[in-house]
Amino acid sequence: MVSKSSGFSTHARALRWSLLLLSGLFAGLTAAPVMADLPVFKLIIKDARFNPQTLEVPAGRKFKLHVKNEGPGVEEFESTDLNRENILPPGGSLEIFLGPLEPGTYKFFGDFHPDTAQGRIVAK
């Protein structure tokens, strides 16, 4: 049974969602040029090790981390401190957006080789 009120609320809901989508799109578009100016840091995974093992980054700023797995095994860039868990097959690469970080040390590790794949990001 369709009542008058349900028809109105459906319109209102549709309007709300479209506004939400539009604002999301707008936010995404305006954010894009900002992303392009971010400092980029490179991280290589090779032979079960991260290189470099310590990354110094500016505190309080967003930045990009470009991770590449040069193999031979699968590895994961994982950090409970940074809320990231990304698996990289050999040859794969990934861009991770991080920050802004408070000054401090944030550990990351490779779950597939926990003994050797250890690293940290130091925000200064």
The residues binding other proteins (CB under 8 A) are 71-75, 78-87, 89-90, 92, 94-95, 97, 101-102, 104, 106-109, 111-115
Tell me if 61 sits within 8 A of 100, measured CB to CB. Answer: yes
Q: Which is nearer to other proteins, 52 or 90 (CB)?
A: 90
Please name the helix (run of DSSP H) or strand (run of DSSP E) that holds residue 17, with its range, or none.
helix 4-36
Least gap, CB of 101 to other proteins (angstroms): 7
Least gap, CB of 48 to other proteins (angstroms): 8
CA-based radius of gyration for the chain: 21
Least gap, CB of 72 to other proteins (angstroms): 5
Please name the helix (run of DSSP H) or strand (run of DSSP E) that holds residue 30, with its range, or none.
helix 4-36
